Amino acid sequence: MGWSNFFVIAASISLAHALVSSGAAPWLGRLLVGGLPAFGDSALAVVVLLMLGATVLRVIVPNISGFLALALPIAMSVGREAGLNPLVCALVVMMTGDAVVYYPAQSSSALVIYERGHVSAGEMLRFGLWMTLVGWVAILAVALPWWALVGEPLR
């Protein structure tokens, strides 16, 4: 592992720790759930909101470690505020963001394939959008029921 990876991971962990210890993640969770009272009543609506937010954040934050450091504490806080299982909320966000690559700079392997001319940026984006749809369906139709079956229900 190169030093740059070490520093990115260390900075991401520090960012996640700062979000939690400063109270920023719980504050943001209260703000999001309080600002959308209609979503607070429906567990499924909160999950869809988390998936949508994670998708947007994944487009903005190219590094997966940075994405997870930002998204996981906030997702767990949103889950707590909405009366949902924070672990399941974190898993939903992790699966949403980890399953896709929208542009070459988001992954070193995607960058290698792109640089060699095997795929274009447009093809990568289209595939990423399809994978987003597949990921969302897998979360809603497979993961949520499975987690409930193994003892981690959404509520």
Q: Tell me if 70 is assigned to some domain.
A: yes
Within the chain, residue ranges assigned H as helices are 3-21, 24-35, 37-40, 43-60, 64-82, 86-98, 108-115, 121-138, 144-149
Tell me whether residue 154 is in a domain: no
Tell whether the model's pLDDT for residue 1 goes beyond 60: no
Task: Give the gyration radius of the chain's Cα atoms.
Answer: 16
In a domain, 58, yes or no: yes
pLDDT per residue as tens digits for the range 42-62: 889 899 999 999 999 898 888
Please report whether residue 89 resides in a domain. Answer: yes
pLDDT of residue 18: 79
Range of the domain at 61: 3-149
pLDDT of residue 104: 85
Q: Which one, of 61, 11, 135, lies nearest residue 144 by Cα?
A: 135
Q: In this predicted model, what pLDDT tens digit does every residue of 22-48 receive, in sequence order?
A: 887 777 776 766 666 665 578 898 999
Residue 155 within any structural domain of the chain: no
Instruction: Give a yes or no: residue 20 inside a domain.
Output: yes
The more confidently predicted of residues 152 and 25 is 152
Q: What is the pTM of this model?
A: 0.81
Q: What integer pLDDT is reported at residue 99 of this predicted model?
A: 83
- Domain count of the fold of the chain: 1
In a domain, 55, yes or no: yes
141 — pLDDT class (breaks 50, 70, 90): very high
146 band by pLDDT with thresholds 50, 70 and 90 = very high
